[in-house]
Structure 1
Amino acid sequence: MLDAFQKHVAAYFPFLSGKRLLIACSGGLDSMALCSLLLRSGHDIALAHADFGLRGAESDQDRQFVESFCREQSLPFFTAKFDTKAFGSEMKVSLQMAARELRYAWFAELLQENQLDFLLTAHHADDNLETFLINLSRGTGIDGLAGIPAVHGKVIRPLLFFSRSEIESYATQQGLDWREDSSNASDAYLRNQIRHDVVPILKTIKPGFLDSFLETQAHLRESQSLIADAAKLVYKQVALELDDKILFKLSELTRLPNYRAYLYQWLRDFGFTAWDDLYALPDANSGKQVHAPEFTLLKDRDVLELFRSQGFDIQVFTIEKDTKAIENPIKMSFCRAAVISQTAPTRIFVDEEKLQWPLTLRKWQPGDRFQPIGMNGSKKVGKFFKDEKFSLHEKSKTWLLCSGDDIVWIVGHRQDNRFKVTQTTQHILEISL
């Protein structure tokens, strides 16, 4: 398997060469095999072990196991313990979702603070199959069937094309030690039910089922790409973008043999859920509307008009001082910096003394103004969007990081001049997406 792994990484993840890698390591079979493969391939790795406090002494033993492995291999080791139940209760999410939110926020913090380049997880082909079946059972579109992404930002999953049996054979041959998570034996979770009861039957009925599944999923990803490309091309024929609205020409839209599918592709990110009402809108009387939390789609004679609703409840998220990372509503990290390194649209450096805490994140509102870095005067955010040729959708997805009433950053796009680092700055704060 080592040779196949090295060829796979060279072909699909050549950018990992020479980088510092953080491995999400539970101590289980998959993550310990990944560590072994990376070490034998000469990669520079560090291990991060999250303790969710859900299995008492067993959780402590998992942490001790991974820590001992790191000492033996002289590897950097990071660990954190979370009150997952309290977090899940507070956020009103399942334990699995709470654990996911906690660990990925922590991983982002570790990457930032320790100058690590990528996070690697040990998800494999069987995990992908289980996720496919879970999504299929709940009802999903092609995005839900296309699988776990091998690359998602700085998160890399190099084992997705290897099966659980291949990984176990490798670990056994190499004499690797690992920990068994007792919760994996429970059928209390849907994933475990699928793993124990459904997948074995599929593999028995059809030998080579997993290979066929991976091939099918590759076709689905190709189809996903084709759908996205087609939606963009047809959008140019049907849609007219104005400063504060999008008009969909019904004469062009209704000529399409499956205009509902196109409407879904164009409008799904605007928060609409009443899809039956939305699909019926082209045949409705003029004046009929369908609402999303922030947007309205209106039938106005020969067009569908999409615009931002008036008086919707603008959500404001607060960020307390000394926060290291956030996951919601977007992923951001905050850390002290000794000097300014290379800036980018996804990273800014500000004078921490000029900030008024807590900071806030919110969407833009008419009348918002800021001072683009490099300019002495101010500019309306709406005018900035227009000059940068933002679509209505891009405007709707853009967040503002604010200090009091002042905008610090049009996140991912432009910093405010008032918070830049100067020669008198004593504390530099690096803020990254």
Structure 2
Amino acid sequence: MTKRNNLLIFIMAVGVFGIINTEMGVIGILPSLAEHFDVSVSKAGLLVSLFALVVAVSGPTMPLLFSGINRKTVMLLVLGIFVIGNIISIFASNFTVALISRVIPAFFHPIYCSLAFTVAAASVSKDEAPKAVSKVFIGVSAGMVVGVPIASFIASTTSLQMAMVFFTAVNAIAFIATLLFVPSMPVKERLSYGTQLSALTKSIVWLSIIAVILLNSAIFGVYSYFAEYMKTVTNFPSNTITLMLAIYGGANIIGNVMAGKLLTKNAQKSVVAFPFALGAVYILLFLFGQYSLPMAFITIVWGILAGVGGNINQYWVMSSAPEAPDFANGLFLSSCNVGTTIGAALGGLFISQIGTQYVVLVGLLSLILGSVSIFLRKYMYSLQNEALEKKII
């Protein structure tokens, strides 16, 4: 049973990697895409920003709509749509066609990722669920930080089309593995839409959503400009910047593994401590970011904490509405995308107004507000428990 569960989780991690890679991988080839379609780089950026916007909008609704269908069937449907969308992207000669071929799969993105987290958690005992989810998160981290340099390398050494073939191949492998090795997973207890939507009437759900938006803003408000920071503040050459980004990505994956153990051991303390730990790193970044050796150390710790943060975000929303896991995971995905958008926008604003070094303040401000949301949720949760105990007595 353990081997079968491990195989299932591994396949879902590959599937999540393929889907996130499709979303984020084009960042590394945006200039090539702009040239290929004869559009500006800013217009080519719609391939990223519009994808993220669609994910943010469809995050809560699409997992809800598909929550009653056999999970293997849904996974195959989503992976199949991504394969078809990527194949169209390979041969697209028109920018509008390429954009449509990405936007349509983006609607289905939250369905697969939500299911992957839900199925991973359900495949093991409740105590071991954070570890199982953290393994799926390795696919998320790899898709975000490994797919970009791989796609860029393939495009520069072969062709733009071959980079798109890479996206297609990963999704196709996940589709075939799901078809052959994932068992049928019919939904035994179908929750009504009303039951799942009722989670939104809970104050702790909204406080969890706000916390995740702010925590993700704290991470991506700074990370989005990490390369620019290293270039202008640390004065690293381009090859060193590439190496540091790779180090950050590797540390991010290590953070996912650590997160599973931390959340299994003591989830509440881990969540409360996270903003303070990341805040300390940002203070060090502000004070010592101009020095090469401290920057290398900061990057490793920062990457580990960012990996931990993704798992904490998922746990915080999921634990606020355990009665509707698919819907809760959809809310988590939507919250993360909203947080990323807000953080990146604020980071750009701070850089343009007061300078690149001060982008760290976006992270610190978001962490302070995020901590307030976390403590408010803990307070509300304790009040609800007290009321429940009095009612029982």
Mark yes or no: TM-score above 0.5.
Answer: no
TM range (shorter): under 0.3
TM-score (norm 1): 0.24
Greater RCO, CA 8 A, separation 6+ = 2
Higher relative helix content: 2
TM-score (norm 2): 0.26
Higher relative strand content: 1
- Structure number with greater Rg is 1
